[in-house]
Amino acid sequence: MTSDRLTVRQVMQPEPRKVPPDCPVGDVLLLMNRERVGSVLVCAGERLLGIFTERDLLRRVSDAIIGWRTYPVRDWMTPNPHTIGADVGWEEAMQAMFRLGVRHLPVVDGDAVVGILSTRMLMSRRTEYLDARIEERTRELKRANDDLMARDLEVMHNLRAAGQLQKNLLPHAPPPWAEFDWATHYAPLDYLGGDYFDFAEPDAEHLGVLIADASGHSIAAAMVAVMTRYAFAEISRTSTSPGEVLTRLNSRLIGLMDSRFVSAFYGVVHRPTRRFRYASAGHPYPLHVQARTNSVKELTAQGFLLGIMPDEVYAEREVILEPGDRLVLFTDGLFEARNEIGEQFGTERMVERLQSLSLSAWDTIQDILECQRRFSNGVPPSDDVTVVAARLLG
């Protein structure tokens, strides 16, 4: 790799043209013309005596008498010329030539003359040097970019594979209770997401539904969601109490998530009575659509986010489901979607849609998502979106 510091040695003309002091001026001019150089060094052996340049010729030829071509070059040279070291930097060489008012400088290395430097050469060689450096740096950048592209493709491949594995951890279908119509929608912002939903059957008469959202998205949030999934799968098998499940889930996650947290809503249906008991850990309130009154109510419950407060106890509330009733559970990515002027989609638009139409669970989700898409008008989402809907059949 070329050094970043350009020196005189790199831009000088090596093996400069040398003539003895008694060489006729005419012969020197023929040499300069033949070699296409603007200067020669006048030396006695290895000792530098002077320099003869085009400027020396112009300065003396106007006053010269006939026969001047036969004069020895020592009479027309500049004696004891300034010199410059071979390892001097390019900038210092330019400043020296400007300060001394010369266009040519002999280059020395110790006591030996190793080259000659001219302003024209200095500029052209620097241009060549800079062009070479640009080409070299361009090649380096291309190699680095190729390496980054290869690593990026590998990372993207791994993320896609991890995202597929995460989707495989989600339930493929809810438990087959004939009286319930279920539907789900899961759309992570990246390949990996922090949203999570699941079902549980602690016994034959109870069916639990969980929706959760780990803070952030992508890899870190996905890891938290996976931890939540495994903890929930173990805890929900042993209890029909949603408050107890969230309390134990909170205890399990304390200290495992660093600065992250999880919001969650967990509800359990008692099959014989259609009683739906639920508890919330700082999660957006699900919506309960009552078919008999054509009203929509929020399933409000209080509780801290999971993984923050040790020994938190999650209080329970309950509603009785009737034929035709619908439940809509969602993460904040649904209602926090914005349009081109920054307005938030909100929950009011969902309430309006739910009141105006009585649909299956699947159609309910599709109608809400389409309403959100029209509202956003092409503005891309900024968070994961998950929706779980249920309809109690008549």
Clarify whether residues 189 and 320 are in a common domain.
yes
Q: What confidence tier does 110 reach under pLDDT thresholds 50, 70, 90?
A: confident
Three-class DSSP labels, the chain: CCCCCCEHHHHCEECCCEECCCCEHHHHHHHHHHHCCCEEEEEECCEEEEEEEHHHHHHHHCCCCCCHHHCEHHHCCEECCCCEECCCEHHHHHHHHHHHCCCEEEEEECCEEEEEEEHHHHHHHHHHHHHHHHHHHHHHHHHHHHHHHHHHHHHHHHHHHHHHHHHHHCCCCCCCCCCEEEEEEEECCCCCCCEEEEEEEEECCEEEEEEEEECCCHHHHHHHHHHHHHHHHHHHHHCCCHHHHHHHHHHHHCCCCCCCCEEEEEEEEECCCCEEEEEEEECCCCEEEECCCCEEEECCCCCCCECCCCCCCCCCEEEECCCCCEEEEECHHHHCCECCCCCECCCHHHHHHHHHCCCCHHHHHHHHHHHHHHHHCCCCCCCCEEEEEEEECC
Give the position of tokens 């993460």. 331
Mean local confidence (pLDDT), 91-110: 89
| Predicted pLDDT of residue 2 | 44
Clarify whether residues 311 and 365 are in a common domain.
yes
Clarify whether residues 110 and 239 are in a common domain.
no
Domain that holds residue 295: 170-392
Q: What are phi and psi of 314, to 5 degrees?
A: -105, 115
Residue type, 53: T
Clarify whether residues 377 and 241 are in a common domain.
yes
Clarify whether residues 214 and 358 are in a common domain.
yes
Domain finish residue from 91, 126, 161: 126
CA atoms lying within 13 Å on the CB side of residue 48? 26
51 inside domain: yes
303 inside domain: yes
Whether pLDDT at 234 is above 80: yes
| Predicted pLDDT of residue 1 | 38
165 inside domain: no
Domain finish residue from 109, 126, 143: 126
> In this structure, are residues 215 and 260 in contact, taking their beta carbons and an 8 Å threshold?
yes
Clarify whether residues 52 and 200 are in a common domain.
no
CATH number of the CATH domain containing 28? 3.10.580.10
Query: What percentage of the chain has pLDDT greater than the value 90?
Result: 60
CATH number of the CATH domain containing 238? 3.60.40.10
Clarify whether residues 385 and 290 are in a common domain.
yes
Least confident of 160-169, 186-195, 343-352: 160-169
Domain finish residue from 57, 91, 126: 126
Whether pLDDT at 168 is above 80: no
Whether pLDDT at 249 is above 50: yes
Q: What confidence tier does 62 reach under pLDDT thresholds 50, 70, 90?
A: confident
Clarify whether residues 118 and 229 are in a common domain.
no
132 inside domain: no
Clarify whether residues 101 and 177 are in a common domain.
no
Strand order in the sheet with 287-290: 180-187, 385-392, 326-330, 287-290, 295-298
Whether pLDDT at 128 is above 80: no
Q: What confidence tier does 5 reach under pLDDT thresholds 50, 70, 90?
A: confident
Pairing of strands 13-14, 18-19: unpaired
Q: How many domains does the chain have?
A: 2
361 inside domain: yes
Average pLDDT for the chain: 89
Mean local confidence (pLDDT), 281-287: 96
Whether pLDDT at 259 is above 80: no
135 inside domain: no
Q: Partners of 392 in the beta sheet?
A: 180
Q: What confidence tier does 257 reach under pLDDT thresholds 50, 70, 90?
A: low
Clarify whether residues 71 and 190 are in a common domain.
no
Clarify whether residues 63 and 192 are in a common domain.
no
pTM: 0.64
Cα–Cα dist 252/244, whole Å: 12
Mean local confidence (pLDDT), 134-153: 85
Mean local confidence (pLDDT), 297-314: 93
Clarify whether residues 180 and 49 are in a common domain.
no
| Predicted pLDDT of residue 162 | 64
Rg over alpha carbons for the chain, rounded to the nearest Å, is: 42
355 inside domain: yes
> In this structure, are residues 283 and 265 in contact, taking their beta carbons and an 8 Å threshold?
yes
262 inside domain: yes
CA atoms lying within 13 Å on the CB side of residue 214? 27
